[in-house]
């Protein structure tokens, strides 16, 4: 049965869709190459290899949290429930397949850095490093898979949404603002100069001893710990680390098996949406008197109850807020008023795929007289209430708190223009470039395929970013004063009004004229959309060949 | 006057001809059944007929109003229950009705009263906190029927309205639809349950491989036999030749 399950997973992986896996493989290989380079480079202290591998290990633990557990895996337990085999046997046969996939492969390559690090110290150190790599890989994969089983139930709850949202927002904030703590000492404020930054010295000097101890004695650092002990000639120390790895791997495998047997023994059930209907939000009840208000009210409720949207709502607000916290803690308090403009950018990115998320529910809008305009404008209104209000409040309140009054006009102008254009672009891109996933009626929980709008998000990032800069650029162009409150307010209000109205108008016309085709695309689902793209590509290739021959 | 009129409706998906020149006339006040095997083109025909899918050729009118040319007018007259489509899933049944009512610009009090009655009659009043996404297939059919009825349409187009609906609710829905027709409304429904169509409808069309192979009053279509016999005759007798599995039952 072992080979059958492993073969089944291999077959599913090769059938695809493999776009995401291919991307993950490419990124993973580049990162793994980077870790190996750290281990080889004489300019880099081995502490940084330890830190990189610890970070890598942390991703295995964070992964199940951000993926929101649910049905993360390729294989589903319900496929095996009716087999005439005991859950214990199925679990035993299942275990090897957990090591098949892109994640374990690129991790293995990254961990090879341990062997590269130990190589100059001779054969014994290399032997220790090879065992350490195997042990570390087993610990990371098993730790992650055990976490998936442990938190699978938790992630279906409201609490799970909060945890997943915070984790992802924190990672995004670090990705976008992680450079600020390094830059802040060099440039404490606009026009000021601080201490010079020396990357080379930092790379050579290693990490503080306390940090190294914590990393080495945490399970993500045991592999590197064993290799460092072996390189230093401390074989006893190396043996202790290897023994720790083996004991933890065996213990985790046992725990995984217990949890898996329990999962396999549970009766199958259709998951129920995490957030049940309750009282209508007050705002929704007073909004819903006109058709536009009815749509806005529907949107406010859906933002609250649809777990995919609830997650995006939090990303849109939390990521810029956490970026502000990073900047503030680094001493860049003067940058805090710009968080309003960042909210415009992140909120637009978080909301680009609303039409695809709501899926075939569009039919009701198409069959209701005058509902298309109400749908587009109502979505914009709800978006404004959810994102524009907090963004503007943050911007205004941050001015007296930070004392950065000089930044006020530019920050407010950027936020107003960015929010206006964001409110327009989300509906325009929503109806012209939907990333179709599982239809709304089948999406009961997080982690189900909801379409991947990464490309559209990149586009919005640029468009809304440009809109934030637009009022100041426009004022410079027409001879206005970007530091004047009046000039900024007038310029940004004009841009915002055009930004809300025009793309919204185009979306309304597009839905009125081609709503049926859009509905057909939403009905076709992701598989057919991918199929169509492939067919179009093949057709183009054939035509190109015919032309050249 | 025809409540609904399809003329030469044709739909081609790539190389596949899904619907091939369907002509259908639904007289006002009639209860019209469209029957056919799975994949015959019933859903595609009805989806085109109500203006949710653009036909490759042909047209559709509701009381003489073209659904593509004078869309808004046609939509006022129609109530639709489509198959396999979402609604705003994160609303409860009552919230969905309130939303649809307000979207249509109906008076608040009217929406509240009709919603109350629809939820009560269709047996959904006890599920106040359940979101539509968590509804069973039968409950989903019932709430969709409620949204189709809410604004008091003159023509109802219902795709498989009785699928997965329990017998008690099924009887209720039959009662509602019969009252609707008795009051001058017109109903078109699709189904592959012959007995149901035979009990409810006064006119029938049999659709097979994208074409209408028979239509008329129930008596005209079924001639001397039952609707099922006639259906099997038209759709192909070879389909029902009894075949068995050689290995099943061996011990």
pLDDT at A106 over 70: yes
Q: How many CB atoms lie within 10 A of CB A57?
A: 26
Find out whether B217 and B47 touch, Cβ atoms under 8 Å.
no
pLDDT at B41 over 70: yes
pLDDT at B63 over 70: yes
Phi, psi values for residue B82, rounded to 5° = -85, 165
Band the pLDDT of A268: cuts 50, 70, 90: low
Q: What is the pLDDT of residue A503?
A: 97
**Model pLDDT for residues A34-61, shown as the tens digit of each residue:** 999 998 888 888 888 998 999 888 888 7
- As a whole number of angstroms, the distance between CA B41 and CA B209 comes to 7
**Which of A265-279, B44-58, B74-88, B132-146 has the least mean pLDDT?**
A265-279
Instruction: List chain A domain ranges.
Output: 2-194+207-265, 288-548
- From chain B, pick out residues whose CB is under 8 angstroms from the CB of A370: 72, 105
Which residue on chain A is closest to B69 by alpha carbon?
Answer: A513
Q: What is the DSSP letter of B237?
A: G
Band the pLDDT of A71: cuts 50, 70, 90: very low
- As a whole number of angstroms, the distance between CA A490 and CA A539 comes to 50
Band the pLDDT of A447: cuts 50, 70, 90: low
The reply to whether residue A444 touches residue B88, judged by beta carbons under 8 angstroms, is: no
What are the structure tokens assigned to A391, written together?
Answer: 């963004």
Q: What is the CA radius of gyration of chain A?
A: 27
Report the candidate in A427, A424, A430, A406 with the shortest Cα–Cα distance to residue A467: A424
Band the pLDDT of A69: cuts 50, 70, 90: very low
What is the CA angle A171-A174-A179, rounded to 5?
Answer: 160
pLDDT at B239 over 60: no
Selected residue of A357, A363, A450, A518 to mutate for chain B interface (largest B Cβ count, 10 A): A363
Q: Determine the average pLDDT of the residues in A517-543.
A: 67
Q: Determine the average pLDDT of the residues in A470-497.
A: 95
- From chain A, pick out residues whose CB is under 8 angstroms from the CB of B128: 277
Report the candidate in B241, B239, B216 with the shortest Cα–Cα distance to residue B38: B239
**Model pLDDT for residues B157-174, shown as the tens digit of each residue:** 999 999 888 888 889 999
Q: Which of B72, B90, B104 sits opposite A306 (nearest CB)?
A: B90
Does the domain at residues B2-85+154-240 carry the CATH identifier 3.40.50.12780? no
Find out whether A72 and A447 touch, Cβ atoms under 8 Å.
yes
**CB interface of A with B, residues 459-518, below 8 Å:** 516-517
**Model pLDDT for residues B64-119, shown as the tens digit of each residue:** 999 999 999 999 999 999 998 999 999 999 999 999 999 999 999 999 999 999 99
Q: What is the pLDDT of residue A70?
A: 40
Instruction: List chain B domain ranges.
Output: 2-85+154-240
Q: What is the pLDDT of residue A44?
A: 86
Find out whether B106 and B150 touch, Cβ atoms under 8 Å.
yes
Band the pLDDT of A154: cuts 50, 70, 90: low
Better pLDDT: A259 or B113: B113
Selected residue of B18, B65, B75, B88 to mutate for chain A interface (largest A Cβ count, 10 A): B88
- As a whole number of angstroms, the distance between CA A293 and CA A299 comes to 10
- As a whole number of angstroms, the distance between CA B150 and CA B142 comes to 12
Where does A214-371 show beta strands of DSSP type E? Answer: none
Burial code (b: 16+ CB inside 10 Å, e: under 16) for B38-65 equals eebbbbbbbbbbbbbbebeebbbbbbeb
Q: Determine the average pLDDT of the residues in A168-188.
A: 83
Q: Determine the average pLDDT of the residues in A475-486.
A: 93
Give the CA-trace dihedral at A393, A302, A440, A371, to 10 degrees. Answer: -90
Better pLDDT: B239 or A123: A123
Percent of chain A with pLDDT over 70: 87
Report the candidate in A352, A351, A353, A342 with the shortest Cα–Cα distance to residue A318: A342
What is the CA angle A545-A548-A549, rounded to 5?
Answer: 85
Q: Determine the average pLDDT of the residues in B31-58.
A: 93
Residues 6+ apart with CB under 8 A from B50: A367, B60, B67, B78, B80, B82, B157
**Model pLDDT for residues A314-355, shown as the tens digit of each residue:** 999 999 999 999 999 988 999 999 999 999 999 999 999 999
Q: Which residue carries 């999962």 as its tokens?
A: A263
Better pLDDT: A400 or A200: A400
A289 in contact with B, Cβ within 8 Å: yes
Give the torsion sign (CA, B196, B201, B207, B208).
positive
- Mean model confidence pLDDT for chain B: 91
Which residue on chain A is closest to B94 by alpha carbon?
Answer: A277
* 3 state SS of A201: helix
Which residue on chain B is closest to A278 by alpha carbon?
Answer: B129
Q: Sheet containing B65-66: give its strands across.
A: B16-27, B2-13, B57-62, B65-66
**Model pLDDT for residues A419-434, shown as the tens digit of each residue:** 999 999 999 999 998 8
- As a whole number of angstroms, the distance between CA A212 and CA A39 comes to 16
Q: What is the pLDDT of residue A277?
A: 60
Band the pLDDT of A269: cuts 50, 70, 90: low
Band the pLDDT of A137: cuts 50, 70, 90: very high
- As a whole number of angstroms, the distance between CA A223 and CA A60 comes to 15
- Mean model confidence pLDDT for chain A: 85
Q: Which residue carries 């709850």 as its tokens?
A: A157
pLDDT at A119 over 50: yes
Better pLDDT: A547 or B144: B144
Q: How many CB atoms lie within 10 A of CB A543?
A: 10
Q: Which of A294, A360, A441 sits opposite B103 (nearest CB)?
A: A294
């Amino acid at each position: 049965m072992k080979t059958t399950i492993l073969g089944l997973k291999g077959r599913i992986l090769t059938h695809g869709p493999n776009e995401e896996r291919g991307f993950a493989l490419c990124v993973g290989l580049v990162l793994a190459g980077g870790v190996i380079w750290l281990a080889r480079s004489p300019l880099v202290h081995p502490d940084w290899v330890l830190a990189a591998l610890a970070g890598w290990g942390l991703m295995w633990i964070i992964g199940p949290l951000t993926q929101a557990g649910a049905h993360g895996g390729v294989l589903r337990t319900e496929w095996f429930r009716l087999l005439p085999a005991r859950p214990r046997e199925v679990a035993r046969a299942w275990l090897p397949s957990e090591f098949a996939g892109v994640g374990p492969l690129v991790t293995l390559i990254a961990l090879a850095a341990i062997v590269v690090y130990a190589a100059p110290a001779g054969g014994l150190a290399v032997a220790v490093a090879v065992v350490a790599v195997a042990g570390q890989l087993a610990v990371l994969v098993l730790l992650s898979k055990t976490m998936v089983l442990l938190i699978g139930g938790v992630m279906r709850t409201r609490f799970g949404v909060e945890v997943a949202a915070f984790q992802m927002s924190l990672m995004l904030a670090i990705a976008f603002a992680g450079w600020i703590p390094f830059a802040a000492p060099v440039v404490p404020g606009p026009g000021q100069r601080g201490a010079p930054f020396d990357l080379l010295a930092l790379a050579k000097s290693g990490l503080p001893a306390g940090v190294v101890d914590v990393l080495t004695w945490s399970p993500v650092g045991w592999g590197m710990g064993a290799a460092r002990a072996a390189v230093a000639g401390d074989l006893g120390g190396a043996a202790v680390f290897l023994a720790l790895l083996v004991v933890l791997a065996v213990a985790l495998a046992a725990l995984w098996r217990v949890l898996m047997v329990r999962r396999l023994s549970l009766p199958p059930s259709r998951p129920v949406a995490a957030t049940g209907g309750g009282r209508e939000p007050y705002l929704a009840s007073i909004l819903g008197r006109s058709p536009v208000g009815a749509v806005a009210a529907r949107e406010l409720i859906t933002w609250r109850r649809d777990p995919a949207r609830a997650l995006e709502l939090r990303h849109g607000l939390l990521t810029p807020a956490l970026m502000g916290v990073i900047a503030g803690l680094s001493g860049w308090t003067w940058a805090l008023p710009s968080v309003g403009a960042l909210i415009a950018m992140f909120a637009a990115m978080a909301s680009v795929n609303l039409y695809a998320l709501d899926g075939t529910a569009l039919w009701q809008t198409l069959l209701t007289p005058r509902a298309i305009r109400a749908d587009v404008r109502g979505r914009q209104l709800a978006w404004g209430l959810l994102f524009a209000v907090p963004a503007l409040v943050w911007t205004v309140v941050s001015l007296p708190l930070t004392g950065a009054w000089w930044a006020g006009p530019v920050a407010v102008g950027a936020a107003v223009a960015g929010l206006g254009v964001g409110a327009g672009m989300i509906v325009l891109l929503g109806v012209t470039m939907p990333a179709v996933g599982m239809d709304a009626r089948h999406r009961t929980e997080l982690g189900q395929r909801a379409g991947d709008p990464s490309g559209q998000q990149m586009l919005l990032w640029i468009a809304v970013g440009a809109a934030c800069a637009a009022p100041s650029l426009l004022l410079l162009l027409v001879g206005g004063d970007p530091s004047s409150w009046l000039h900024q307010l007038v310029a940004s209000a004009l841009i915002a009004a055009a930004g809300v109205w025009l793309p919204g108008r185009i979306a309304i016309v597009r839905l009125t004229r081609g709503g049926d085709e859009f509905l057909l695309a939403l009905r076709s689902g992701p598989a057919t959309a991918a199929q169509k793209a492939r067919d179009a590509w093949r057709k183009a290739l054939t035509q190109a060949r015919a032309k050249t021959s | 006057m025809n409540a609904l009129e399809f003329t030469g409706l044709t739909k081609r998906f790539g190389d596949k001809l899904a619907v091939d020149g369907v002509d259908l006339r639904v007289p006002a006040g009639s209860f019209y059944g469209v029957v056919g095997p799975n994949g015959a083109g019933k859903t595609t025909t009805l989806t085109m007929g109500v203006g949710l899918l653009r036909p490759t050729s042909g047209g559709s009118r509701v009381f003489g109003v073209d659904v593509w040319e004078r869309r808004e007018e046609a939509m006022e007259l129609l109530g639709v229950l489509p198959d396999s489509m979402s609604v705003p899933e994160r609303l409860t049944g009552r919230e969905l009705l309130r939303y649809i009512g307000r979207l249509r610009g109906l008076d608040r009090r009217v929406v509240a009263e009709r919603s109350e009655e629809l939820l009560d009659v269709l047996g959904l009043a006890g599920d106040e906190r359940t979101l539509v996404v968590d509804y069973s297939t039968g409950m989903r059919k019932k709430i969709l029927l409620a949204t189709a009825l809410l604004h008091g349409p003159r023509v109802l187009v219902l795709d498989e309205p009785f699928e997965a609906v329990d017998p008690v609710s099924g009887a209720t829905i039959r009662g509602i639809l019969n009252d609707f027709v008795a009051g001058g409304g017109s109903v078109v429904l699709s189904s592959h349950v012959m007995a149901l169509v035979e009990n409810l409808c006064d006119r029938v069309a049999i659709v097979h491989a994208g074409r209408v192979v028979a239509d008329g009053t129930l008596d005209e279509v079924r001639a001397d036999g039952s609707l099922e016999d006639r259906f099997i005759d038209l759709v192909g007798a070879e389909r029902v030749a009894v075949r068995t599995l050689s290995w099943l039952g061996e011990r």
